[in-house]
Chains A and B, each alone.
Chain A
Amino acid sequence: QLQLQESGPGLVKPSETLSLTCSVSGGSINTRSYFWAWIRQPPGKGLEWIGTLYYSGSTYYNPSFKSRATIPIDTSKNQFSLRLTSVTAADTAVYYCVRQYLGGAGFDPWGRGTLVIVSS
């Protein structure tokens, strides 16, 4: 059974870079069959897609992040990451890593999520 687990600092200072890692177990991220993605949810609010990664390294990003987001892949560790630069309090959220269906609509499964607070 595929499982995803987010890890990284729970507190980041304003203007610094948020870095999270998603460790995938029970399956390989080096597959042509799926995408991999990051989604976030500010406290008490809805879901926001950040970006999507393909095993080849191709990426798609939400323009609302204005090039602040990058999603590198490390197939040797079966991990992918999120880097978000120049963070502000508005980036405080629960961050989820997810597997994304390739040919249709659907994110499944989801990691449990990790809360990142941006504060000095």
Chain B
Amino acid sequence: EVVLTQSPAILSLSPGERATLSCRASQSVNTYLAWYQQKPGQAPRLLIYDASDRATGIPARFSGSGSGTDFTLTIRSLEVEDFAVYYCQQRSNWPITFGQGTRLEIK
């Protein structure tokens, strides 16, 4: 099973700042990695698929990069609505696995 480790667990930033979230895989997942945003009481929302492709309707301030075992989600200039929990997910190998999440909170 591929273990995804997200860091940091909690990230405290202010609106307007740049956020950098990390996801590290225990073995290569090529670019079969996605990122999700989840707000309280809501279902997760797909942000990035295949490591760097933005999903439909996702603002350009969200970007993904990486391949193999190291991946990054960058939010260029944080807006208030961006403060949420973020998960990465791989489907290179069965079973599909998720990271434990990074909570992005307002500083």
> What is the interface of chain A, defined by CB distance below 8 A to chain B?
37, 46-49, 52, 60-64, 96, 100-101, 104-113
| Cβ A113 vs Cβ B43 within 8 A | yes
The SS class assigned to the A binding surface is strand
The SS class assigned to the B binding surface is loop
Which residue of chain B has the shortest Cβ distance to A64 in the bound complex? B95
Interface string of B74-96 (1 = CB under 8 A from A): 00000000000001011110111
Given A47-B89, A106-B34, A112-B43, does the pair A101, B96 have CB atoms closer than 8 Å? no
Bound-state CA distance A96–B96 (Å) is: 15
| Cβ B46 vs Cβ A106 within 8 A | yes
Contact size range, B: 20 to 34
Closest beta carbon of chain A to B72's beta carbon, Å: 15
Option from B44, B50, B95, B100 in Cβ contact (under 8 Å) with A105: B50
Bound-state CA distance A100–B96 (Å) is: 11
> Which B residues are in CB contact (< 8 Å) with A112?
43
> Which B residues are in CB contact (< 8 Å) with A111?
43
**Most chain A beta carbons < 10 A, residue from B50, B91, B100, B101:** B91
B98 on the interface (CB 8 Å rule)? yes
Closest beta carbon of chain B to A65's beta carbon, Å: 10
Bound-state CA distance A110–B45 (Å) is: 7
Bound-state CA distance A100–B45 (Å) is: 13
| Cβ B44 vs Cβ A49 within 8 A | no
> Which B residues are in CB contact (< 8 Å) with A62?
95-96
| Cβ A105 vs Cβ B90 within 8 A | yes
